[in-house]
Amino acid sequence: MTDRGLFSLSLLLFAVATGYAVFHWRHGFSRDDLWCYSLLAMAMVPHTGAMLARGFSLQRCPVNNLYEATMFTTWALLSLHLVIGAWPRLRFISAFAAPLLLGLGIFGLNRQLDGPGPSPDFARGMVSLHAALILLAYGTFGLSAAAAIMYLVQEHDLRLNKLRAVLSRLPAMERLEKVIVQSMFSGLVLLSLGLSLSIWLVIGSGKPIVRGDPKVVWSLLVWAAYLAMLIIRMARNRGARWLAWSSVGTFAFVILTFWGTNLMSPMHQP
């Protein structure tokens, strides 16, 4: 089976896990979430096989175009989730990781992202690493937003004295708050590394820097927004509810504007 076939098989398991997650949400997380986690663990096998098949066929690490970078990012997020989900109290995140992984995978299967190219060189490898770091950062921000949604659901139910909040298998709100902050911080570190690498790539290429490039301005705006949220939270100027809403709103902004700014950016067009 080809690498795309193995990757498609992993996406099929992501889709089944997503369907189970939707059922899970409707029942207020009162059911065992081990099935969703197990489906994602099963998807790890063909996903890893896809990366190995791709790497052996090209005789290199498969991170040289956007398809490969997306496949790598999805694999890294899946690995991170499986480690976190080994703790039963945090296994609920499977219900939110599944649709996120499915969305990334469907995007990555676009054949236009997998154009053939010459033998990779160092610069192309750095471009792929830059893309992988940026995508991994946004995926981590997505996990923060997923935990934020769970926090808001839990807070809403407790405020209305709903029985579902008592019967829910969600962890304590304090633990959810820690997941939001830690994921946000990890994403900010990855985004900082990716943006720093892009500066090095532009300087090394010898090309003139495009001032006011929409993608650069947008990326700096996203970086500043997450940094500001963490600073405000560390200063205890706002509560956890504000942080949760800010995480969800900022990530929604990222998802809705990512490709638009990419298309408007002269630096990101061939």
Tally Cβ neighbours within 10 Å of residue 70: 25
Q: pLDDT tens digits for 217-268?
A: 898 999 999 999 999 988 877 788 899 999 999 998 988 887 778 777 666 5
Contact (CB, 8 A) for 149 and 248: yes
Strand spans (E) along 79-203: none
Tally Cβ neighbours within 10 Å of residue 199: 12
Residue 108: is its pLDDT beyond 70?
yes
Residue 231: predicted pLDDT = 92
Residue 215: predicted pLDDT = 82
Query: Which pair of structure tokens corresponds to residue 171?
Result: 């962890």
Name the H helices within 160-239: 163-167, 173-205, 214-234
Domains of the chain: 1-120 (1.20.120), 122-270 (no CATH)
